[in-house]
Amino acid sequence: MSTILRVPDILAVIPLNSKVLLPSVVTKVVINGTAAAYIQRTLNAVRKEGMKQAVYLAVVPACKNANGKTLRANIDTNFDTDGISETVVKKDGVTIKSKNSGTSEINLFHFGCAARLIKMEKNIDSNLLTLYLQGVCRFRIDQIKDAEKVLMAQVTHYPEVDESNYPKGDQEFTDTLLEFRSLSKEFLNKMKDLKIPGSLISQLSKVMDKSPPSQMANLLASVIETTFDEKLEMLETIDVKIRLKRVNEWMTRQLHVLKITQQIQSNIDGKLDKKRREFYLRQQLNAIKEELGEKGDDSAAAGGDDDELSELKRRLDAAMLSKDAQIVADRELKRLKKLHPSSVEWSVVRTYLDVVADLPWSKSSDDMIDIHRAREQLEADHYGLETAKKRILEYLSVVKVKGDLKAPIICFVGPPGVGKTSLGKSIATSTGREFHRISLGGVRDEADIRGHRRTYVGAMPGLIVHGMRKTGVKNPIFLLDEIDKIVQTSHYGDPAAAMLEVLDPEQNSTFTDHYLNIPFDLSKVLFIATANSIDTIPAPLLDRMEVISLPGYTFDEKLHIARTYLLPKQIKEHGLETNQVSIADEVLLKIIENYTRESGVRNLERTIASIVRFKCVEWADLSEADNADKYNEVIQVDDLENILGIQYFEKEIVQQEAIPGVVTGLAYSGSGNGGILMIEASDMPGEGKLQLTGSLGDVIKESAQIALTWVKAHAYTLKLTSSPTIDLAEKRDVHIHFPAGAVSKDGPSAGIALTTTLVSLFSGRSVPPTTAMTGEITLRGRVLPVGGIKEKVLSAHRAGIRKVILPYRNRKDVSSDIPESIKKSIEFVYVKNIWEVLSAALIIDEHGKDVKAPWVTPGLESHL
Binding residues for ATP: 414-421
CA–CA separation, 732 and 726 (whole Å):
13
Phi, psi at 680, each rounded to 5°: -120, 140
DSSP 252-267: HHHHHHHHHHHHHHHH
DSSP assignment, residue 564?
I
Alpha-carbon distance of 96 to 125, in angstroms, equals: 31
Q: Does residue 158 sit in helix, strand or coil?
A: strand
Judge whether 439 counts as a catalytic residue: no
Helix-helix angle 323-338:299-318, to 10 degrees: 180
Are 777 and 538 a contacting pair, CB within 8 Å? no
Alpha-carbon dihedral 472, 475, 481, 486, rounded to 10 degrees: 90
Radius of gyration from C-alpha coordinates of the chain:
50
Q: Which residues contact 12 (CB under 8 A, 6 or more apart)?
A: 35, 38, 39, 42, 57, 58, 150, 151, 152, 153
Please answer whether residues 218 and 180 qualify as being in contact, where contact means their C-beta atoms are separated by less than 8 angstroms. Answer: no
| Contacts for 698 with CB less than 8 Å, ≥ 6 apart | 746
> Which is the catalytic residue, given 749, 760, 763, 795?
749
The answer to whether 524 and 407 are in contact (CB under 8 A) is yes
Long-range pairs for 289-292: beta carbons < 8 A, 24 or more residues apart = 291/260, 291/263, 291/264
DSSP character at residue 551: P
* H or E stretch covering 43: helix 33-48
Q: How far is CA 297 from the centre of its chain?
A: 43
Catalytic residue among 365, 792, 795, 803: 792
DSSP string, 706-753: HHHHHHHHTTTTTTSSSSTTS-TTTTEEEEEE-S-TTS-B--STBHHH
Which residues, listed in sequence order, are joined to residue 806 by a DSSP beta bridge?
830
The rounded distance, in Å, linking the Cα atoms of 440 and 485 is 7
d(CA 353, CA 366): 27
Any long-range contacts for 305-310 (C-beta under 8 Å, 24+ apart)? Answer: 305/341, 309/333, 309/336, 309/337
Cα separation, 256 vs 236, whole angstroms: 26
Integer Cα distance of 422 and 556 in angstroms = 21
Active site residue 792: yes
Q: Are 29 and 173 in contact, with CB atoms under 8 Å apart? A: no
Residue ranges of the binding site: 414-421
Q: Is 777 buried (19+), middle (13-18) or exposed (0-12) by CB count in 10 A? A: buried
Maximal CA-CA distance, the chain: 154
* Cβ neighbours for 735, distance < 8 A, ≥ 6 positions apart: 681, 682, 683, 684, 690, 691, 692, 693
How many Å apart are CA 32 and CA 77, to the nearest integer? Answer: 6
How many Cα atoms within 13 Å fall on the side-chain side of residue 71? 25
- The CA distance from 451 to 518, in Å, is 12
Q: Which residues contact 227 (CB under 8 A, 6 or more apart)?
A: none
Evaluate the CA torsion angle 613, 615, 617, 620 in order and state its sign: negative
Alpha-carbon torsion (391, 394, 400, 405), positive or negative: negative
Known catalytic residues? 749, 792
